[in-house]
Amino acid sequence: NPSILYRMVPAIHGLASVLTCCALLNYCYQHIASLHLFLKGLGLALSFLTILQKMSCLMFYRQRLVKLHADLAMTFNLDLNDIELRPILLSPLLSFYRPSLILSTVTYLVIVIYWITPILLIIIQLSRGVNVLKFILPFPASYPWQPNVNTWLYLGHYTFEIYAGICLGSFTSSIDSLFGFYIFQISGQLRTLSHRIKNLKSQHNYRKIISECMNRHQILTRCQDHLERIYGPIVLWMLVTNAMVMCALIYQAAHVSPTKAAIIGLYIVLKSVQTLVYGWFGTFLETENNKFREAIYASDWAGSGEKCLMTDVLIMMTYKPFVLKACSLSNISIDMFVAVSNTAISYYFMLRTLEEQDNNL
């Protein structure tokens, strides 16, 4: 069992995220009359709310997560120890490693830009000989007190927001990559099952092979159910919030200088990549499932003359497809990226229309 200190770690991360989110929402409240500043704080506040929601889902479904991890580790190692199946099992690795690496890199790059912006501003002020320095924090947060009253208080707030940024980047990249890791394990095992079915011959000990494949497929089906229960709310929340955040970022980019717009554009890329990666992983799993069914059709079962073999294969053909859904409302597929992008652009034009109406009054 984990120690008390180990159990306190998520609470500490969560508390830092909650405090930062409250400060960002307070900033939104204070600038509710300015749509540009309001959206500036809202986008980051939604990002911190997102990692809190992810933490809550993983903690709520902790038993399912432990079961999912244990089952996939056990079955994955069985194929990994087989010299013949190992290359097939690991063949989809790069399809998951590269998107996860890109997502993590862009995430931390955005966080680092937020960190270094206050330092660059101080350096610019010192180079210009400014007597009274203006201190800003990495995030547009508003506290009940003035954090820049003295240097030590400012450094304390700056350190705290750096820690909050580490939590934001770490939870975003790790939880999203974990989703891809589990799908990689399922997809790799589907490929090994396809290989075994394609090379199934009636003169071989096919009953043992069929039995092993059926048992493995049942385990993978349960794993898919666990994965859907755990990540369904996460993906559904992501679809809604990413559309809102991307809309807010597009609106901000249209009202700032080109240099600031380029930085905001990197944040837009992050949200786009995040949505695209989730959709890519879901589509990849669906494709591998279809290939598994094609392998069943392509096996030499129809002309084998073995009634038991034909019956077993027909039973396998009735298996439930691996189609992940977000709370039974939307398929987790590449189409999500198109839907989120269209929604974000639609929201942006709606804001432009409201802004033009206010200017005409």
DSSP class per residue in 253-277: HTTS-HHHHHHHHHHHHHHHHHHHH
| pLDDT for the residue numbered 300 | 62
| Residue range of the domain that includes 118 | 4-360
pTM, entire model: 0.89
CB 320 within 8 Å of CB 221: yes
| pLDDT for the residue numbered 67 | 94
CB 250 within 8 Å of CB 348: yes
CB 157 within 8 Å of CB 163: no
Given a cut of 80, whether residue 275 has pLDDT beyond it is yes
Confidence of residue 86 (pLDDT cuts 50, 70, 90): very high
| Closest to 304 measured CA to CA, from 206, 220, 201 | 201
| pLDDT for the residue numbered 309 | 65
Given a cut of 90, whether residue 359 has pLDDT beyond it is no
Confidence of residue 125 (pLDDT cuts 50, 70, 90): confident
The whole-angstrom separation of Cα 253 and Cα 361 is 24
Given a cut of 60, whether residue 144 has pLDDT beyond it is yes
pLDDT digits (tens, 9 = 90+) for 17-32: 999 999 999 999 998 8
Confidence of residue 188 (pLDDT cuts 50, 70, 90): very high
Percent of the chain with pLDDT over 70: 91
Confidence of residue 278 (pLDDT cuts 50, 70, 90): very high
The mean of the pLDDT values for the chain is 86
- State both tokens at 293: 């069914």
Q: Where is pLDDT greater, at 8 or 155?
A: 155
| pLDDT for the residue numbered 50 | 92
Q: Provide the angle, in degrees to the nearest 10, between the axes of the packed helices 151-198 and 258-298.
A: 20
Range with the poorest average pLDDT among 115-124, 208-217, 282-291, 301-310:
301-310
Confidence of residue 262 (pLDDT cuts 50, 70, 90): confident
Q: Where is pLDDT greater, at 296 or 225?
A: 225
* Structural domain count of the chain: 1
CB 96 within 8 Å of CB 281: yes
| pLDDT for the residue numbered 24 | 94
Q: How many CB atoms lie within 10 A of CB 240?
A: 13
In sequence order, the 6+-apart residues with CB closer than 8 A to the CB of 132 are none
- State both tokens at 208: 């043992």
| Closest to 108 measured CA to CA, from 55, 168, 178, 158 | 168
The whole-angstrom separation of Cα 223 and Cα 189 is 12
